[in-house]
Structure 1
């Protein structure tokens, strides 16, 4: 059933995006606290399963409980779920190995990688401008990861920190692939179905990791894990709402505000101090991301203009 597009509301869209950013940073903080003792697969289960009630309430409130969960592409949801769950697991594992702000910075490679994967799997044409932005962004990622992966630093290679950098980048790769799958799903599937079935798939897949050893959380850890799930569910709703009320090119740049929250939380809660090298890498990635967003907006205008020209005038 087709859903009428929501009326443009820039202020509400930006507020929703900032709400999503805040929720996801709080969730990441909860995950980092829990990751000291709880396996990543177990954290993914709590994050996914505890978000489902919030998502169901949201779907019911939108009046889509009966129609919004119908799907014509269950295999597509499964692939999106597999890739998304892998990305989430790797991201949570990285939070247990690296500073919060460093993980977030490396994960900013996602929009850069989306350009590459969209060209590979969706057949999108990528010209010199976006290729230059991709190269700039990947250069920023390399600058951030370089001290973790090379012996030519004062401290040498720490295997755990090196693993954390690789896993964090892997989570960005999986998240970018998941984004491409979502792009394909949105052609035929309602947003409610995409969000709900991802939660179901992630909960089921992460539950299988119980075979590799889960721990019994303490009451405090239970509270942290459940909070991560609930806040993550609210964040998903905020994120979806932000793109309903304004174009992606308007709200997407506000994603980068999360680095300010990550640096602040890392400093005051985990005593993590960002290095100059990391800040330089972040700056390059943010510039690349904003250039890509700007270019996507220009291409969207060109495609819209082309459709106007092709469409017969009545």
Structure 2
């Protein structure tokens, strides 16, 4: 990132705007109802997200370059992981109160730390391991009432299955983050975004024989709007990182729980439980500490590199 590009206020504004747009996407999907298969929702989310993304890239005159890649299989792996995560997340979203689904989704960065240590052999010191452990305690606090429902109602408990689906989504998203880390070494952000949406739309079509349902005009409009909101949100998210450091922007992801609670109460009458709020506070605290540690480690690496570079 060039010094001229740094504008923290603009970066934070774009980040918060992306959070709001992603919440609008989730609201559209949840409003469409729980009877629509996750694969069908995922198709609309991926296919119609391409509309604003391709328009934006055409406006930048970067459309042809966005399709050039040296790692097609890497994009395919990222697409498979991402689309499975998205499908699980959407299943959980329509079967859980929105704040619960949002809070459980915060487990993704914790999973990314674990997978970075296991798959990328990154050195994770005791501070971050402690934060992951504390964060997972928060996840258990949020999950426990849902798993109790699962024990009492068996696998017919929609909230219990929704909670497990969101956790599966968090695990898959953590793995997808690792794949993205590997891709950004040589691939442009636009290329990663475009191929993810294309892969998601194509793979979602394979769920068509497994029971897509007829949609009303309202449901169709909601799913199309959800896809477009998701695509625009992705653009603002990407743009936010051009104007500020990751450590500056990342904590504002947690504004989604505050806005989400308000939207969920007004739109769906959902009132957050005490255990959900406590668990969320624990998970957010762990997540912010991990962001802080990543920032400190990044500064240390820069200082070491500068000290080892001959000055002339």
TM-score scaled by structure 1?
0.95
Aligned 1:80-95 pairs, distance under 5 A: 80-95=78-93
Aligned: 1:51 with 2:27: no
Aligned counterpart for 2:262 among listed residues 258, 261, 264: 264
Query: Shift of the alpha carbon at 1:88?
Result: 0.3
- Deviation per CA, 1:175-211, whole angstroms, max 9, x where unpaired? 1111111010000100110000000000000011111
**Cα drift, residue 68 of structure 1:** 2.9
Q: Where does residue 293 of structure 1 map in the other structure?
A: 291
Task: Give yes or no for contact 2:128–2:290 (8 Å, CA) kept in 1.
Answer: yes
Structure 1 residue 65: deviation in Å?
Answer: 1.5
Q: Give RMSD over aligned pairs.
A: 1.7
Which of 284, 309, 312 is 1:311 aligned to? 309
Q: Which SS does the other structure have where 1:71 is aligned?
A: coil
> Which structure: greater helix fraction?
2
Determine whether 1:210 maps to 2:208.
yes
1:169 is paired with a residue whose SS is helix
CA contact (8 A) 2:66 2:194 kept: no
Does the alignment pair 1:167 with 2:165? yes
**Which residues in structure 2 correspond to 1:1-314 (within 5 Å)?**
7-150=5-148, 159-314=157-312
CA contact (8 A) 1:137 1:285 kept: yes
Count of paired positions: 311
C-alpha spacing 1:156/1:51, structure 2 compared with 1 (3 Å): closer
Q: Residues 102 and 293 of structure 1: is their aligned pair in 2 closer, same or farther, counting only changes over 3 Å?
A: same
- In structure 2, runs of 5+ residues without a counterpart are none
Shift of 1:4: 7.0
Q: Distance in 2 between matches of 1:52 and 1:5?
A: 31
What is the SS of the residue equivalent to 2:212? coil
Cα distance between partner residues in 2 of 1:17 and 1:114: 20
Q: CA shift at 1:266, angstroms?
A: 1.2
User: What's the CA shift for 1:140?
Assistant: 0.3
Partner of 1:283, secondary structure, is helix
Q: CA–CA distance in 2 between the matches of 1:201 and 1:13?
A: 28
Shift, 1:156, TM fit:
7.1
Q: Which moved more, 1:141-150 or 1:59-68?
A: 59-68
DSSP-derived class of the 2:35 partner? coil
**In structure 1, C-alpha distance between the alignment counterparts of 2:229 and 2:192, rounded to whole Å:** 19
Contact 2:150 / 2:157 at 8 angstroms: preserved in 1? no
Give the conservation status (yes or no) of the 8 Å contact 1:25–1:262: yes
8 Å CA contact 1:35, 1:92 repeated in 2: no
Post-superposition CA distance 1:126-175 (Å, at most 9, x none): 1110011001110000000011113699x777722211111010111111
Structure 1 stretches of 5 or more lacking a match?
A: none
Alpha carbons of structure 1 residues 165 and 6: separation in structure 2 relative to 1, 3 Å: farther
Moved over 3 A (4+): 3-6, 155-158
Quote the offset at 1:95 in angstroms. Answer: 1.2
The alpha-carbon distance between structure 1 residues 141 and 66, as it changes in their structure 2 partners (threshold 3 A), is same
Contact 1:83 1:175 in 2 (8 A): yes
What is the TM-score normalised by the length of structure 2?
0.96
Query: Per-residue CA shift, 1:67-107, capped at 9, x if unaligned?
Result: 23210000000000000000000000001211111000000
Aligned with 1:312: secondary structure? coil
